[in-house]
Amino acid sequence: MEAYDVIVVGAGVVGLATAYFCASAGLKVLVLERESIASQASGAAAGILTPAGESAQAGPLGDLMARSLEFHRSFTPRLKELTGIDPLFGPLAVLVPAFSPQEADRLRALAEHLAGSNSRLRWAEPTELLAAEPRLSPDLRGGLLAEGEGQVDAYRLTLALGRAAELAGAEVRYAAAEGLELPERGRPRVITRSGPVGADFVVLAMGPWTARAAGWLGTPVPVEPLRGQLLRLHLPGPPLAYCVMYGDHYVLSKLDGLVTAGTTEELVGFDPSTTPAARDFILEGVLRLVPGLADAQLVNHTACLRPLAADDMPILGPVPGRERVILATGHGRNGILMGPYSGRLVADLILGRTPEIDLGPFAPARFREAGPVRRRAHRLFSP
């Protein structure tokens, strides 16, 4: 039987980052992928790298997101040097607009509250914003402005991580994981069509499909698919000055020259279809933010299935009672932001290092120890 130090199931951004950091440390690593690298959400995401916005918060998740952005700044540009694949990493100014006095008051207060932990985040008046970007809505009453955030091409980033992992010695094999063998003593084994493969550690990084491992493990894996649709647009003129984020909607100019607009949050199972209703919903929303988009042409319409955990927090850490099986999923709409850093943290666990943040709040054990989990309210789009 083949044997490895680490088997990673799933060739998305989290799995490939884990594989890269483990292989770079000298471990023998196998990545199992049932389709192709970046074939799911990691290849279709918008690639917005920001912990800012109305969901900005202190606490473990806010800290993880902030550290993830800083990690991107140092790590992601190096991927081009390592692999020759340019992830198109670049700076981004993120604007959360206010359209009413109540929204303006709330965002001003949020800016003041977060100013101590994020010096790049501030309140901006409408005159400043409209001077920089005249295509914004004239109804703007100001907004929360986060300067110095980032963006990346999610597909290129994931391809670069895969290439970096291979250059570090990892093997990528296109085969589906069909189950796990978990002996009381000894190493776990991943069942594939060609037979079992053993490893000291198995990392399950299958996005929303990680939920299917619940039957293999005999323990809940409370993750479900959250469909998100986005549009690619061609907009004449200069790039948009801001990535504008408001509720479910966002719109930004990407470094490939196109505009990306999104999104939806849909609990429709494992259905990756695009819908005309979602297209119209997105266009209506972003046209309110940037009326100048009326001149844009639709280039592409895609959908992906993000892994949504039961409490909206990533799931990172060993399965209770199965410490050699590690879950790495549940990043929701922020997988590209948190993925590379999450892979580094998982690799630290495998290598016996102490992660630089406390992974307790993200541990799978929380679903057994904390009783019923309450998810924050999602503004779900009904197709």
pLDDT at 238: 95
46 burial via Cβ count (<10 Å: 0-12, 13-18, 19+): buried
3-class DSSP assignment, residue 146: strand
CATH number for the domain including 154?
Answer: 3.50.50.60
Q: Is a pLDDT exceeding 90 seen at residue 330?
A: yes
Q: Is a pLDDT exceeding 80 seen at residue 371?
A: no
pLDDT digits (tens, 9 = 90+) for 186-230: 899 999 999 999 999 999 999 999 999 999 998 889 999 999 999
Domain residue limits at 306: 3-369
The least confident of 15-29, 72-86, 100-114, 319-333 is 100-114
pLDDT at 302: 97
Q: How confident is the model at residue 242 (pLDDT cuts 50, 70, 90)?
A: very high
Q: Is a pLDDT exceeding 50 seen at residue 373?
A: no
Q: Which residues pair with 191 in a beta bridge?
A: 179, 196
Quick check: is 344 in a domain?
yes
The least confident of 32-41, 46-55, 94-103 is 46-55
Q: Is a pLDDT exceeding 60 seen at residue 379?
A: no
Question: How many structural domains does the chain have?
Answer: 1
Contact partners, residue 200, CB within 8 Å, separation at least 6: 4, 5, 6, 187, 324, 350
Q: What sign does the CA torsion over 36, 38, 41, 44 have?
A: negative
Quick check: is 378 in a domain?
no
Q: Is a pLDDT exceeding 80 seen at residue 268?
A: yes
Q: How far apart are CA 302 and CA 280, in angstroms?
A: 13
Q: Is a pLDDT exceeding 70 seen at residue 111?
A: yes
Quick check: is 377 in a domain?
no
Residue that wins the pLDDT comparison between 112 and 95: 95
pLDDT at 144: 94
Q: Is a pLDDT exceeding 60 seen at residue 372?
A: no
pLDDT at 112: 87
Highest mean pLDDT among 15-19, 144-148, 370-374, 378-382: 15-19
pLDDT at 280: 96
Q: Which residues pair with 319 in a beta bridge?
A: 322
pLDDT at 81: 95
Query: How would you classify residue 296: left for phi > 0, otherwise alpha for psi between -120 and 50, otherwise beta?
Result: beta
When the pLDDT of each residue in the chain is averaged and rounded to a whole number, the result is 92
Check: CB of residue 15 under 8 Å from CB of residue 36.
no
Quick check: is 374 in a domain?
no
pLDDT at 55: 54
Q: Can you read off the two tokens belonging to residue 133?
A: 């970007």
How many helices and strands, by DSSP H and E, does the chain display?
10, 17
Check: CB of residue 11 under 8 Å from CB of residue 36.
yes
Check: CB of residue 146 under 8 Å from CB of residue 120.
yes
Q: Is a pLDDT exceeding 90 seen at residue 172?
A: yes
Buried b (16+ CB within 10 A) or exposed e, 11-21: bbbbbbbbbbb
Q: Is a pLDDT exceeding 90 seen at residue 376?
A: no
Percent of the chain scoring above 70 in pLDDT: 93
The least confident of 271-285, 321-335, 361-375 is 361-375
Quick check: is 348 in a domain?
yes
Q: How confident is the model at residue 114 (pLDDT cuts 50, 70, 90)?
A: confident
Q: How far apart are CA 339 and CA 314, in angstroms?
A: 10
Peptide bond into 76 cis (omega under 30): no
Alpha-carbon distance values, 294 to 209, 233, 357 (Å): 38, 11, 45
pLDDT at 297: 97
What dihedral do alpha carbons 263, 159, 348, 8 form, nearest 10°? 90
Alpha-carbon distance values, 351 to 72, 129, 201, 307 (Å): 21, 47, 10, 26
Q: Span 300-328, mean pLDDT?
A: 95
pLDDT at 54: 46
pLDDT at 377: 44
Q: How far apart are CA 37 and CA 186, in angstroms?
A: 30
Check: CB of residue 298 under 8 Å from CB of residue 276.
no
Quick check: is 182 in a domain?
yes
pLDDT at 380: 60
Q: Span 100-121, mean pLDDT?
A: 85
Quick check: is 381 in a domain?
no
Q: How far apart are CA 160 and CA 82, in angstroms?
A: 8
pLDDT at 37: 95
